[in-house]
Amino acid sequence: MKAVTWHGKRDVRVDNVPDPKIEEPTDAIVRITTTNICGSDLHLYEVLGAFMDEGDILGHEPMGIVEEVGSEVTNLQPGDRVVMPFQISCGSCYMCNLELYTQCEITQVRDQGMGAAIFGYSKLYGHIPGAQAEYLRVPRAQFTHIKVPHGPPDDRYVYLSDVLPTAWQAVAYADVPPGGTLAVLGLGPIGDMACRIATHLGVERVIGIDRVPERLERAAARGVETVDMREHKKDLGDAIRTITDGRGPDSVIDAVGMEAHGSPVNKMAQQAASKLPDVVARPMMKTAGTDRLGALYSAIDMVRRGGTISLSGVYGGMADPIPMLTLFDKQVQLRMGQANVKRYADDILPLLTDDDPLGVDTFATHRLPIDEAPTAYRNFQKKDDGTVKVQLKP
Protein backbone atom coordinates (compact mmCIF):
# COMPACT_ATOMS: atom_id res chain seq x y z
CA MET A 1 0.00 0.00 0.00
CA LYS A 2 0.96 3.65 -0.28
CA ALA A 3 1.87 5.46 2.93
CA VAL A 4 3.38 8.80 3.97
CA THR A 5 6.68 8.02 5.66
CA TRP A 6 9.27 9.94 7.65
CA HIS A 7 12.84 10.02 6.32
CA GLY A 8 14.39 12.86 8.29
CA LYS A 9 13.91 16.49 9.17
CA ARG A 10 11.58 18.11 6.61
CA ASP A 11 11.74 14.94 4.53
CA VAL A 12 8.51 12.98 4.13
CA ARG A 13 7.88 10.68 1.19
CA VAL A 14 5.18 8.43 -0.19
CA ASP A 15 6.45 4.85 -0.15
CA ASN A 16 5.03 1.45 -0.92
CA VAL A 17 4.92 -0.52 2.34
CA PRO A 18 3.38 -3.86 3.38
CA ASP A 19 -0.34 -3.85 4.07
CA PRO A 20 -1.20 -4.10 7.79
CA LYS A 21 -2.60 -7.35 9.15
CA ILE A 22 -4.56 -8.43 12.21
CA GLU A 23 -1.94 -9.01 14.92
CA GLU A 24 -4.13 -9.28 18.01
CA PRO A 25 -7.75 -10.43 18.43
CA THR A 26 -8.59 -6.86 19.52
CA ASP A 27 -7.43 -5.36 16.17
CA ALA A 28 -9.36 -4.15 13.16
CA ILE A 29 -8.15 -3.25 9.67
CA VAL A 30 -9.67 -0.08 8.18
CA ARG A 31 -9.45 1.06 4.56
CA ILE A 32 -8.74 4.77 4.82
CA THR A 33 -10.94 7.09 2.77
CA THR A 34 -9.70 10.43 4.19
CA THR A 35 -6.74 11.21 6.42
CA ASN A 36 -5.59 14.66 7.53
CA ILE A 37 -2.29 16.37 8.18
CA CYS A 38 -2.33 17.75 11.72
CA GLY A 39 -0.40 20.73 13.04
CA SER A 40 1.28 18.41 15.55
CA ASP A 41 2.59 16.32 12.63
CA LEU A 42 4.76 19.33 11.88
CA HIS A 43 6.55 18.82 15.21
CA LEU A 44 7.71 15.44 13.87
CA TYR A 45 8.58 17.09 10.57
CA GLU A 46 10.69 19.71 12.35
CA VAL A 47 11.92 19.14 15.92
CA LEU A 48 11.02 15.68 17.27
CA GLY A 49 12.94 13.61 14.73
CA ALA A 50 15.11 12.03 17.42
CA PHE A 51 12.14 9.84 18.35
CA MET A 52 11.42 8.72 14.77
CA ASP A 53 12.86 5.93 12.64
CA GLU A 54 13.29 6.22 8.90
CA GLY A 55 10.22 4.77 7.21
CA ASP A 56 7.81 5.40 10.09
CA ILE A 57 4.27 5.98 8.82
CA LEU A 58 2.80 9.33 9.87
CA GLY A 59 -0.72 10.50 10.62
CA HIS A 60 -3.42 10.28 13.27
CA GLU A 61 -6.61 11.88 11.86
CA PRO A 62 -8.30 9.17 9.76
CA MET A 63 -11.63 7.73 8.82
CA GLY A 64 -12.62 4.89 6.56
CA ILE A 65 -14.39 1.57 6.10
CA VAL A 66 -13.80 -1.50 8.24
CA GLU A 67 -12.31 -4.33 6.18
CA GLU A 68 -11.58 -6.97 8.81
CA VAL A 69 -11.94 -7.41 12.59
CA GLY A 70 -10.24 -9.59 15.17
CA SER A 71 -12.11 -12.28 17.01
CA GLU A 72 -12.63 -10.15 20.16
CA VAL A 73 -14.05 -7.12 18.32
CA THR A 74 -17.79 -7.66 18.58
CA ASN A 75 -19.21 -4.20 17.87
CA LEU A 76 -17.72 -3.70 14.41
CA GLN A 77 -18.11 -5.58 11.17
CA PRO A 78 -16.77 -5.21 7.63
CA GLY A 79 -18.51 -2.35 5.85
CA ASP A 80 -18.94 -0.15 8.94
CA ARG A 81 -17.92 3.48 8.46
CA VAL A 82 -15.70 4.69 11.28
CA VAL A 83 -13.56 7.58 12.50
CA MET A 84 -10.55 6.70 14.61
CA PRO A 85 -9.63 8.89 17.59
CA PHE A 86 -5.96 9.84 17.49
CA GLN A 87 -5.29 8.07 20.80
CA ILE A 88 -5.64 4.33 21.34
CA SER A 89 -7.55 3.44 24.50
CA CYS A 90 -9.28 0.44 26.01
CA GLY A 91 -12.41 2.17 27.34
CA SER A 92 -12.61 0.16 30.56
CA CYS A 93 -9.56 0.81 32.78
CA TYR A 94 -9.51 3.19 35.75
CA MET A 95 -8.45 6.18 33.64
CA CYS A 96 -10.88 5.42 30.83
CA ASN A 97 -13.70 5.17 33.37
CA LEU A 98 -12.78 8.74 34.36
CA GLU A 99 -13.02 9.63 30.63
CA LEU A 100 -9.30 10.45 30.64
CA TYR A 101 -8.69 8.41 27.53
CA THR A 102 -5.31 10.00 26.83
CA GLN A 103 -4.13 8.36 30.08
CA CYS A 104 -5.43 4.84 29.33
CA GLU A 105 -3.64 2.42 31.66
CA ILE A 106 -3.66 -0.37 29.09
CA THR A 107 -1.98 1.57 26.28
CA GLN A 108 0.23 3.93 28.31
CA VAL A 109 3.75 3.98 26.87
CA ARG A 110 5.43 3.24 30.17
CA ASP A 111 8.96 2.76 28.85
CA GLN A 112 8.86 6.42 27.78
CA GLY A 113 6.89 7.67 30.78
CA MET A 114 4.09 8.82 28.48
CA GLY A 115 0.32 8.51 28.25
CA ALA A 116 -1.86 6.54 25.85
CA ALA A 117 -0.43 5.37 22.55
CA ILE A 118 -1.10 7.55 19.50
CA PHE A 119 -1.22 6.59 15.84
CA GLY A 120 1.85 7.66 13.89
CA TYR A 121 3.50 9.66 16.63
CA SER A 122 7.00 8.37 17.28
CA LYS A 123 8.56 6.16 19.93
CA LEU A 124 7.31 8.57 22.60
CA TYR A 125 3.74 7.42 21.97
CA GLY A 126 4.09 3.74 21.21
CA HIS A 127 5.67 3.66 17.75
CA ILE A 128 2.31 2.68 16.21
CA PRO A 129 2.13 2.88 12.38
CA GLY A 130 0.14 5.94 11.37
CA ALA A 131 -2.93 6.68 9.31
CA GLN A 132 -1.63 8.61 6.30
CA ALA A 133 -1.90 5.43 4.32
CA GLU A 134 -4.31 3.31 2.34
CA TYR A 135 -4.95 0.93 5.26
CA LEU A 136 -4.61 1.16 9.05
CA ARG A 137 -4.36 -1.44 11.78
CA VAL A 138 -6.45 -0.23 14.71
CA PRO A 139 -5.43 -1.73 18.08
CA ARG A 140 -8.08 -1.90 20.81
CA ALA A 141 -10.65 -1.47 18.04
CA GLN A 142 -13.57 -2.42 20.30
CA PHE A 143 -13.27 1.10 21.79
CA THR A 144 -10.88 2.95 19.48
CA HIS A 145 -13.47 3.97 16.91
CA ILE A 146 -16.45 6.26 16.42
CA LYS A 147 -19.09 4.74 14.19
CA VAL A 148 -20.69 7.22 11.77
CA PRO A 149 -23.45 6.86 9.18
CA HIS A 150 -22.92 6.26 5.51
CA GLY A 151 -24.01 9.00 3.13
CA PRO A 152 -22.58 12.44 3.93
CA PRO A 153 -19.09 13.24 2.64
CA ASP A 154 -16.04 12.49 4.78
CA ASP A 155 -15.64 16.21 5.58
CA ARG A 156 -18.67 15.89 7.84
CA TYR A 157 -17.04 13.41 10.20
CA VAL A 158 -13.27 13.20 9.74
CA TYR A 159 -12.55 16.01 12.23
CA LEU A 160 -13.98 13.86 15.03
CA SER A 161 -10.57 12.17 15.02
CA ASP A 162 -8.82 15.21 16.54
CA VAL A 163 -9.74 18.77 15.50
CA LEU A 164 -13.29 18.88 16.86
CA PRO A 165 -12.69 17.22 20.25
CA THR A 166 -9.37 19.03 20.75
CA ALA A 167 -11.00 22.40 20.10
CA TRP A 168 -14.04 21.44 22.20
CA GLN A 169 -11.85 20.47 25.15
CA ALA A 170 -9.85 23.69 24.74
CA VAL A 171 -13.04 25.72 25.10
CA ALA A 172 -14.30 23.55 27.97
CA TYR A 173 -11.01 23.95 29.83
CA ALA A 174 -11.04 27.72 29.19
CA ASP A 175 -14.20 27.88 31.32
CA VAL A 176 -15.27 31.31 30.08
CA PRO A 177 -17.71 32.86 32.58
CA PRO A 178 -21.16 34.04 31.42
CA GLY A 179 -20.80 37.30 29.53
CA GLY A 180 -17.02 36.80 29.39
CA THR A 181 -14.32 37.21 26.76
CA LEU A 182 -12.17 34.48 25.24
CA ALA A 183 -8.93 35.20 23.37
CA VAL A 184 -7.57 32.47 21.07
CA LEU A 185 -3.87 32.59 20.25
CA GLY A 186 -3.24 30.98 16.88
CA LEU A 187 -5.86 30.48 14.18
CA GLY A 188 -4.60 27.26 12.67
CA PRO A 189 -7.06 24.35 12.58
CA ILE A 190 -7.49 24.04 16.36
CA GLY A 191 -7.64 27.77 17.09
CA ASP A 192 -10.02 28.38 14.19
CA MET A 193 -12.33 25.57 15.30
CA ALA A 194 -12.12 26.67 18.95
CA CYS A 195 -13.41 30.09 17.91
CA ARG A 196 -16.31 28.44 16.07
CA ILE A 197 -17.18 26.18 18.99
CA ALA A 198 -16.95 29.00 21.53
CA THR A 199 -19.27 31.15 19.44
CA HIS A 200 -21.70 28.24 19.01
CA LEU A 201 -21.69 27.58 22.75
CA GLY A 202 -22.60 31.18 23.48
CA VAL A 203 -19.32 32.80 24.52
CA GLU A 204 -20.21 36.46 24.28
CA ARG A 205 -16.93 37.77 22.84
CA VAL A 206 -14.27 35.79 20.97
CA ILE A 207 -11.00 37.41 19.89
CA GLY A 208 -8.82 35.50 17.42
CA ILE A 209 -5.11 36.39 17.27
CA ASP A 210 -2.71 35.43 14.47
CA ARG A 211 -0.19 36.83 12.00
CA VAL A 212 -1.27 35.00 8.82
CA PRO A 213 -3.72 37.06 6.70
CA GLU A 214 -5.65 34.08 5.33
CA ARG A 215 -6.23 32.72 8.83
CA LEU A 216 -7.39 36.06 10.15
CA GLU A 217 -9.77 36.39 7.20
CA ARG A 218 -11.25 32.91 7.80
CA ALA A 219 -12.01 33.75 11.42
CA ALA A 220 -13.37 37.21 10.64
CA ALA A 221 -15.70 35.75 8.02
CA ARG A 222 -17.42 33.80 10.82
CA GLY A 223 -17.88 36.86 13.03
CA VAL A 224 -14.77 36.49 15.19
CA GLU A 225 -13.09 39.70 16.30
CA THR A 226 -9.50 39.47 15.04
CA VAL A 227 -6.17 40.99 16.05
CA ASP A 228 -3.18 40.92 13.68
CA MET A 229 -0.02 40.20 15.66
CA ARG A 230 2.11 41.89 13.01
CA GLU A 231 0.65 45.20 14.11
CA HIS A 232 1.57 44.60 17.76
CA LYS A 233 4.99 42.98 17.71
CA LYS A 234 6.04 44.45 21.06
CA ASP A 235 2.76 45.34 22.72
CA LEU A 236 0.33 42.47 22.07
CA GLY A 237 -0.66 42.24 25.74
CA ASP A 238 -1.26 45.98 25.95
CA ALA A 239 -3.31 45.89 22.74
CA ILE A 240 -5.54 43.11 24.07
CA ARG A 241 -5.96 44.83 27.44
CA THR A 242 -6.92 48.06 25.65
CA ILE A 243 -9.90 46.34 24.01
CA THR A 244 -10.92 44.43 27.16
CA ASP A 245 -11.53 47.23 29.66
CA GLY A 246 -7.87 47.38 30.62
CA ARG A 247 -7.87 44.03 32.44
CA GLY A 248 -7.47 41.39 29.71
CA PRO A 249 -9.71 38.52 28.58
CA ASP A 250 -11.29 36.20 31.12
CA SER A 251 -9.81 33.18 29.36
CA VAL A 252 -7.08 32.52 26.80
CA ILE A 253 -6.58 29.45 24.63
CA ASP A 254 -3.01 28.82 23.48
CA ALA A 255 -3.51 26.88 20.24
CA VAL A 256 0.09 27.35 19.09
CA GLY A 257 2.42 25.24 21.21
CA MET A 258 6.10 24.43 21.07
CA GLU A 259 7.02 26.14 17.80
CA ALA A 260 5.70 29.62 18.49
CA HIS A 261 7.06 32.69 16.71
CA GLY A 262 8.92 35.23 18.82
CA SER A 263 11.17 32.74 20.65
CA PRO A 264 14.51 33.05 18.83
CA VAL A 265 16.81 31.58 21.51
CA ASN A 266 14.65 28.51 22.07
CA LYS A 267 14.26 28.10 18.33
CA MET A 268 18.04 27.92 17.99
CA ALA A 269 18.16 25.34 20.78
CA GLN A 270 15.50 23.22 19.06
CA GLN A 271 17.32 23.45 15.74
CA ALA A 272 20.64 22.51 17.35
CA ALA A 273 19.10 19.49 19.11
CA SER A 274 17.53 18.31 15.85
CA LYS A 275 20.99 18.04 14.29
CA LEU A 276 22.46 15.84 17.03
CA PRO A 277 22.65 12.04 16.69
CA ASP A 278 19.45 10.45 17.98
CA VAL A 279 21.28 8.61 20.76
CA VAL A 280 22.36 12.00 22.13
CA ALA A 281 19.28 14.05 21.24
CA ARG A 282 16.67 11.72 22.77
CA PRO A 283 17.84 11.85 26.41
CA MET A 284 18.72 15.53 26.09
CA MET A 285 15.25 16.46 24.84
CA LYS A 286 13.58 14.36 27.55
CA THR A 287 15.52 16.03 30.37
CA ALA A 288 16.65 19.44 29.11
CA GLY A 289 14.49 20.13 26.07
CA THR A 290 12.87 23.53 25.72
CA ASP A 291 9.93 24.87 23.76
CA ARG A 292 9.42 28.12 21.94
CA LEU A 293 7.23 29.73 24.55
CA GLY A 294 6.22 32.97 22.83
CA ALA A 295 2.54 32.04 22.72
CA LEU A 296 2.43 30.82 26.32
CA TYR A 297 4.19 33.95 27.57
CA SER A 298 1.67 36.05 25.63
CA ALA A 299 -1.21 34.11 27.17
CA ILE A 300 0.18 34.62 30.69
CA ASP A 301 0.67 38.30 30.01
CA MET A 302 -2.75 39.04 28.54
CA VAL A 303 -5.12 36.90 30.63
CA ARG A 304 -6.87 38.90 33.32
CA ARG A 305 -6.06 38.36 36.97
CA GLY A 306 -7.94 35.35 38.24
CA GLY A 307 -8.45 34.18 34.66
CA THR A 308 -7.91 30.82 32.98
CA ILE A 309 -5.40 29.64 30.36
CA SER A 310 -6.25 26.55 28.34
CA LEU A 311 -3.33 24.91 26.52
CA SER A 312 -4.21 22.85 23.47
CA GLY A 313 -1.02 23.54 21.51
CA VAL A 314 1.45 20.67 21.95
CA TYR A 315 4.42 21.26 24.26
CA GLY A 316 7.29 18.85 24.73
CA GLY A 317 9.98 20.61 26.77
CA MET A 318 11.22 19.38 30.12
CA ALA A 319 13.24 22.45 31.14
CA ASP A 320 10.97 25.30 30.11
CA PRO A 321 11.38 28.56 32.04
CA ILE A 322 7.90 29.38 33.35
CA PRO A 323 7.17 32.75 35.04
CA MET A 324 5.81 31.24 38.23
CA LEU A 325 5.79 34.56 40.06
CA THR A 326 3.45 36.06 37.47
CA LEU A 327 1.20 32.99 37.38
CA PHE A 328 0.98 32.91 41.17
CA ASP A 329 0.55 36.66 41.62
CA LYS A 330 -2.15 36.87 38.93
CA GLN A 331 -3.90 33.80 40.39
CA VAL A 332 -4.08 32.20 36.97
CA GLN A 333 -5.73 28.82 36.48
CA LEU A 334 -3.88 26.65 33.96
CA ARG A 335 -5.46 23.62 32.28
CA MET A 336 -3.93 21.50 29.57
CA GLY A 337 -3.60 18.13 27.92
CA GLN A 338 -4.33 16.15 24.80
CA ALA A 339 -8.00 15.83 24.03
CA ASN A 340 -9.93 12.92 25.48
CA VAL A 341 -11.62 12.40 22.13
CA LYS A 342 -14.53 10.12 22.95
CA ARG A 343 -15.48 12.18 26.01
CA TYR A 344 -16.81 14.85 23.65
CA ALA A 345 -17.99 12.79 20.67
CA ASP A 346 -21.60 12.55 21.88
CA ASP A 347 -21.76 16.34 22.28
CA ILE A 348 -20.33 16.96 18.83
CA LEU A 349 -22.10 14.37 16.68
CA PRO A 350 -25.53 16.08 16.83
CA LEU A 351 -23.91 19.19 15.29
CA LEU A 352 -22.62 17.30 12.24
CA THR A 353 -25.80 17.76 10.24
CA ASP A 354 -26.71 19.39 6.95
CA ASP A 355 -27.10 22.67 8.86
CA ASP A 356 -23.36 22.43 9.62
CA PRO A 357 -23.17 25.09 12.35
CA LEU A 358 -19.41 24.59 12.79
CA GLY A 359 -18.59 24.76 9.09
CA VAL A 360 -16.95 21.34 8.86
CA ASP A 361 -18.04 20.77 5.26
CA THR A 362 -15.84 23.64 4.08
CA PHE A 363 -13.17 23.54 6.80
CA ALA A 364 -10.41 21.99 4.67
CA THR A 365 -8.44 24.41 2.53
CA HIS A 366 -6.77 21.67 0.49
CA ARG A 367 -7.89 18.18 -0.58
CA LEU A 368 -5.05 16.31 -2.25
CA PRO A 369 -4.16 12.79 -3.37
CA ILE A 370 -1.81 11.09 -0.95
CA ASP A 371 0.98 11.26 -3.54
CA GLU A 372 1.14 15.03 -2.98
CA ALA A 373 1.78 14.72 0.76
CA PRO A 374 5.41 15.98 0.60
CA THR A 375 4.31 19.24 -1.02
CA ALA A 376 1.39 19.54 1.40
CA TYR A 377 3.70 19.17 4.42
CA ARG A 378 6.06 21.78 3.02
CA ASN A 379 3.28 24.30 2.34
CA PHE A 380 1.63 23.68 5.71
CA GLN A 381 4.90 24.18 7.56
CA LYS A 382 5.64 27.40 5.69
CA LYS A 383 1.99 28.55 5.79
CA ASP A 384 2.13 28.97 2.01
CA ASP A 385 -0.75 28.84 -0.47
CA GLY A 386 -3.33 29.66 2.21
CA THR A 387 -2.81 26.25 3.82
CA VAL A 388 -4.80 25.81 7.03
CA LYS A 389 -6.14 22.26 6.86
CA VAL A 390 -5.10 19.49 4.44
CA GLN A 391 -7.00 16.33 3.68
CA LEU A 392 -5.19 13.48 1.92
CA LYS A 393 -7.13 11.00 -0.19
CA PRO A 394 -5.46 7.57 -0.45
CATH of the domain at 145: 3.90.180.10
- The C-alpha angle with vertex 19 and arms to 90 and 136, in degrees rounded to 5, equals 30
Q: What is the largest CA-CA distance in the chain?
A: 61
User: Is 129 found in the same domain as 18?
Assistant: yes
Name the domain count of the chain.
2
User: Given this model, what pLDDT does residue 265 score?
Assistant: 43
User: Given this model, what pLDDT does residue 328 score?
Assistant: 96
> What is the 3-class SS of the chain, one letter each residue?
CEEEEECCCCCEEEEECCCCCCCCCCCEEEEEEEEEECCCHHHHHHCCHHHCCCCCECCCCEEEEEEEECCCCCCCCCCCEEECCCECCCCCCHHHHCCCHHHCCCCECHHHCCCECEECCCHHHCCECCCCECEEEECCCCCCCEECCCCCCHHHCHHHHCHHHHHHHHHHHHCCCCCCEEEEECCCHHHHHHHHHHHHCCCCEEEEEECCHHHHHHHHHCCCEEEEHHHCCCCHHHHHHHCCCCCCCCEEEECCCCECCCCHHHHHHHHHHHCCCHHHHHHHHHHHCCCECHHHHHHHHHCCCCCEEEECCCCCCCCCCCCHHHHHHHCCEEEECCCCHHHHHHHHHHHCCCCCCCCHHHCCCEEEEHHHHHHHHHHHHHCCCCCCCEEEEC
Percent above pLDDT 70 for the chain:
91
User: Given this model, what pLDDT does residue 338 score?
Assistant: 94
Band of pLDDT at residue 268, cut at 50, 70 and 90: very low
User: Given this model, what pLDDT does residue 285 score?
Assistant: 54
Among 336, 357, 381, identify where a domain stops: 336
Position 204 pLDDT exceeds 80: yes
Position 27 pLDDT exceeds 50: yes
- The C-alpha angle with vertex 88 and arms to 260 and 192, in degrees rounded to 5, equals 35
Band of pLDDT at residue 206, cut at 50, 70 and 90: very high
User: Is 10 found in the same domain as 157?
Assistant: yes
User: Is 209 found in the same domain as 107?
Assistant: no
Band of pLDDT at residue 269, cut at 50, 70 and 90: very low
User: Is 230 found in the same domain as 115?
Assistant: no
User: Is 347 found in the same domain as 226?
Assistant: no
Q: What is the mean pLDDT of residues 369-382?
A: 96
Q: What is the mean pLDDT of residues 270-299?
A: 63
User: Is 247 found in the same domain as 131?
Assistant: no
User: Given this model, what pLDDT does residue 149 score?
Assistant: 97
User: Given this model, what pLDDT does residue 274 score?
Assistant: 52
Position 270 pLDDT exceeds 50: no
User: Given this model, what pLDDT does residue 379 score?
Assistant: 95
User: Is 222 found in the same domain as 320?
Assistant: yes
Task: Write the pLDDT tens digit of every residue in 31-45.
Answer: 999 999 999 999 898
Position 267 pLDDT exceeds 70: no
Amino acid at position 131, single letter: A
Position 339 pLDDT exceeds 80: yes
User: Is 361 found in the same domain as 263?
Assistant: no
Q: Taking a C-beta distance cutoff of 8 angstroms, is the pair 174, 167 a contact?
A: no
Position 276 pLDDT exceeds 70: no
User: Is 119 found in the same domain as 6?
Assistant: yes
Position 46 pLDDT exceeds 60: yes
User: Is 147 found in the same domain as 250?
Assistant: no
Q: What is the mean pLDDT of residues 256-272?
A: 55
User: Is 356 found in the same domain as 233?
Assistant: no
User: Is 325 found in the same domain as 356?
Assistant: no
Among 318, 336, 354, identify where a domain stops: 336
Strands 28-37 and 135-138: antiparallel
CATH at residue 278: 3.40.50.720
Task: Write the pLDDT tens digit of every residue in 130-162.
Answer: 999 999 999 999 999 999 999 999 999 999 999
Indicate if the alpha-carbon torsion angle 192, 193, 198, 202 is positive or negative: positive
Q: N- to C-terminal Cα distance for the chain?
A: 9
Q: Which domain holds residue 312?
A: 164-336
Q: What pTM, to 2 d.p., does this model score?
A: 0.92
User: Given this model, what pLDDT does residue 7 score?
Assistant: 96
Amino acid at position 217, single letter: E
